[in-house]
Amino acid sequence: MAGIGDTLIATPLIHELRANFPAATIDVLTMWAGSKDLLESNPHVNRVFQKNLLKCGKLEAVRFLWSLRREGYKLSINTHPQSRIHYRIAAWLAGAEVRISHEYECFHWLDRWLVTGTLPQNYTLHSIENNAAVLPLIGAQKKLTAQEMEFHLTPAEEKFADDFLANHQLAGQKLLGIHVGSGGTKNLPLKRWPLKNYAGVVRRLNQERPDIRVLLFGGPEEAKDHQIVLAQANRDLTLEAKSKNLRETAALMKRCSAFLSVDTALMHIAAAMKVPNQIVIEAPTLNVTNWPYGNQFTLVKNPVVSGRNLDYYRYDGGDIKGTRAELIAAMESVTVAEVFATITKLI
């Protein structure tokens, strides 16, 4: 029920559960429509329930979660890093007999009443590995030879991406995907690299590297930002990667030569799609637990954050630490020149 990226990070655990319990019913409850999209066609999932508990009223949320009790679940797992107590309240309302969660800095006596089993989180391990640590608690073990994030695309979605490239004369071109956004909850928009910087990189690429086509990725929430970038760009070399859902977006990303972002859901999708030349601008929220997993990437280091990521952000249910001005200044410290040099060195 956390972010879309966290849903993708949970897919290796889902596969391990299926490998250990092939006859089990495995259902997933998600908050975001994009998370539901991601899990469509996943062969290890029976059903996906989706409810935005932030938008519906409290009474509606309680009624929905209480209705899940009729499914008679034996086990529920709050995957890492679902730190806020609201996730454990949701698990309790859904009524599984065994309810497992990692322990976070914000844990107190009520959390321990809401769940029946806990395990420590480990900031030196990726969230995928934190999730795999759940297996011994439920009488299971690692059965897969490798832990891989899974995004199962359909032939229709693959065809959409190929048709998009053909219709825009992009087949065989060097394609740089860019995601200018980030999560919008709490104060997470403050981890974004400034929009003016993205626009500056695109302008310079258009001028100095016209062999690179730029695709702007994102949903409706990025539409206004895309128009700002496009207004300053060469429209023959830069366009929006328009798609009807996250699945088509992933299919298009799979065809990119490189991908640029901070740590966002699309960063994780780029890793799952094995996009070569993945570039990540270091934000205060980036740490070992949420690096792009299973894909080589180049980090554009943030001189203000300077490796002190856990001083800025932990899974304690709270905001990124620091004032708005401090966090904006931190992201502005990564220059257009540094990002441009990284892109042009890789492509």
- First CA to last CA across the chain, in angstroms? 37
Last-in-domain residue among 81, 112, 138: 138
Give the integer Cα–Cα distance in Å for 75 and 100.
8
Question: Can you give the pLDDT at residue 186?
Answer: 82
Q: Phi and psi at residue 237, in whole multiples of 5°? A: -110, -10
Last-in-domain residue among 138, 165, 196: 138
Sign of CA dihedral 28, 29, 34, 35: negative
- The answer to whether the pTM exceeds 0.85 is yes
Same domain, 15 and 69: yes
Same domain, 186 and 98: no
Write out pLDDT tens, residues 103-155.
999 998 899 899 999 999 999 999 999 999 999 999 999 999 999 999 999 99
In a domain, 143, yes or no: no
Last-in-domain residue among 84, 111, 138: 138
Question: Can you give the pLDDT at residue 37?
Answer: 92
Same domain, 109 and 172: no
pLDDT-derived band at 184, boundaries 50, 70, 90: confident
* DSSP three-state, residue 275: coil
User: Is residue 289 over pLDDT 90?
Assistant: yes
Q: What is the CATH number of the domain that holds 24?
A: 3.40.50.2000
Same domain, 61 and 33: yes
Same domain, 189 and 331: yes
Same domain, 194 and 322: yes
User: Is residue 87 over pLDDT 80?
Assistant: yes
**Number of domains within the chain:** 2
Q: Are strands 174-179 and 212-217 parallel, antiparallel or unpaired?
A: parallel
Question: Can you give the pLDDT at residue 182?
Answer: 85
Same domain, 173 and 130: no
pLDDT-derived band at 53, boundaries 50, 70, 90: confident
CB 11 within 8 A of CB 18: no
Write out pLDDT tens, residues 235-256.
999 999 999 999 999 999 999 9
Which residue range(s) make up the domain with 266?
Answer: 155-346
User: Is residue 328 over pLDDT 80?
Assistant: yes
In a domain, 146, yes or no: no
3-class SS string, 288-333 = HHHCCCCCCEEEECCCCCCCCHHHHCCCCCCCCCCCHHHHHHHHHC
Same domain, 194 and 303: yes
In a domain, 82, yes or no: yes
In a domain, 308, yes or no: yes
Same domain, 217 and 101: no
- Of 187, 269, 192, nearest to 7 by C-alpha is 269
